[in-house]
Amino acid sequence: MKNGDKKQAAAGHKPNMAVEIAGIRLKNPVMPASGTFGYGEEYAPYLDLERLGGIITKGLSLRPKGGNQTPRIAETISGMLNAIGLQNVGIDAFIEYKLPFLREVNTPVIVNFFGNTLDEYGEVAQRLSDLPEVAGVELNISCPNVKQGGIVFGTDPRAAAEVVSLVRSRLNKPLIVKLTPNVTDISVIARAVEEAGADAISCINTLTGMAVDIHSRRPRLANRTGGLSGPAIRPVAVRMVHQVVQAVSIPVIGVGGIVRPMDALEFLIVGARAVQVGTANFVDPQAMITIIDGIEKFLVDEGLADIHELIGSLQV
Ligand SMILES: Cc1cc2nc3c(=O)[nH]c(=O)nc-3n(C[C@H](O)[C@H](O)[C@H](O)COP(=O)(O)O)c2cc1C
């Protein structure tokens, strides 16, 4: 069909926006990035949660965690540095106080989690397996702001494979593994986690950065360094998603610096099957709704009946 004919054929029909990630059906490809959307409930007054493709929760650990000393956030040009240190309520309080709300929201719930040790990763995975409300999990092996857990596992292919296969053996749900950009070659880590049993990959987490207050001459974060997020990191994230898509055959979720619909479209075109929006939620709690509507409008304008016609359509 010629382009003009395709546009006419698509006019008046809503394009298909639904995608599937590791067996989880998302009504559209847009979800919040872990740690920027609390446990969902916090944002309920500001947007219709049921419009989201899914909800990804703040990273959970076996026991509650207070996080790092303050200051732990610093604004930068086109982004922010954070060193929250994975503060969270712990799995027991999550089940008792947070999950009952999420259960009533008609969209898949994906729980992001981490452990301080290998054993803890395994134990949280086991506990999450018992929860029917949880559609899937996102395994964080990429937090740059804590000494144990997170990035220690995510920067070495053997350590990454070890934690992924342990979690895989204790988990009866789809397993998404979240990668760090703080490595020389992300495709090596991506292949290692795929071989170890990951069902999908999300990338990227934050890039390690530092900022200094020139008057006090102190680091702006108590932790000295923090994770850089927001529009500043988007080209790095797009490049890494492109690399990972080439390296593996499991679905990839793109995350990093998405603010506008066109940002999300870049990730989909390089082959991400879904996207996550993080820092933009702090600036505009409606950002994800604008992005969902904008992707749909783009499909209509381009005469595409299905989002899969766009995914991976990069011309090189
Ligand atoms: C304040 C803050 C807290 C975060 N907490 C987590 C977390 O608990 N687990 C995780 O995997 N990623 C966490 N992230 C990383 C984001 O999920 C995301 O990967 C990153 O911010 C890049 O996306 P963005 O540029 O759209 O923010 C956090 C990011 C921020 C800014």
This prediction has a pTM of 0.96
Query: What burial class does residue 127 get, using C-beta atoms within 10 Å of its C-beta: 0-12 exposed, 13-18 middle, 19+ buried?
Result: buried
Tell me: the pLDDT tens digits for 253-301?
999 999 999 999 999 999 999 999 999 999 999 999 999 999 999 999 9
Q: Report the length, in residues, of the chain.
A: 316
Domain membership of residue 141 (yes or no) is yes
- So what's the pLDDT on residue 71? 96
Domain hosting 300: range is 3-67+85-208+227-309
Tally the domains of the chain. Answer: 1
pLDDT in tens, 103-156: 999 999 999 999 988 899 999 999 999 999 999 999 999 776 665 556 778 999
Q: What is the pLDDT of residue 161?
A: 96
Query: ∠ CA 186-33-120 to the nearest 5 degrees?
Result: 70
Determine if ligand 1 sits within 6 Å of the CB of residue 180: no
The type of residue at 127 is R
Q: Classify the phi-psi angles of 239: left when phi > 0, otherwise alpha if psi is within -120 to 50, otherwise beta.
A: alpha
pLDDT in the model for residue 13:
82
258 Cβ inside 6 Å of ligand 1: yes
Q: What is the CATH number of the domain that holds 56?
A: 3.20.20.70
Q: Does 300 fall in a domain?
A: yes
Whole-angstrom distance, CA of residue 310 vs CA of residue 308: 5
Share of the chain above pLDDT 90, in %: 91
- Express each pLDDT in 65-79 by its tens digit: 999 999 999 999 999
Q: Which residue has the tokens 């409300």?
A: 133
For the question of residue 203 being annotated catalytic, the response is no
pLDDT of residue 289: 98
Model confidence at 8: pLDDT above 70: no
Whether 72 is in a domain gets the answer: no
In a domain, 40, yes or no: yes
Each residue's pLDDT tens digit, 167-208: 999 999 999 999 999 999 999 999 999 999 999 999 999 999
**Residue 127, in any domain of the structure:** yes
Query: Which two structure tokens, joined as six digits, stand for 247?
Result: 């390296």
DSSP one-letter string for 74-121: EEETTEEEE-----B-HHHHIIIIIHHHHHTSSS-EEEEE--SSHHHH
Residue 175 falls inside a structural domain = yes
| Residue with tokens 């899937």, as numbered in its chain | 136
Confidence band for 86, pLDDT divided at 50, 70 and 90: confident
Whether 316 maps to a domain, the answer reads no
Does any domain span residue 303? yes
Whether 57 lines ligand 1, by a CB cut-off of 6 Å, is no
Residue with the smallest CA separation from ligand 1 atom 8 is: 59
* Burial call 181-194: b when 16+ CB within 10 Å, e when fewer: bbbeebbebbbbbb
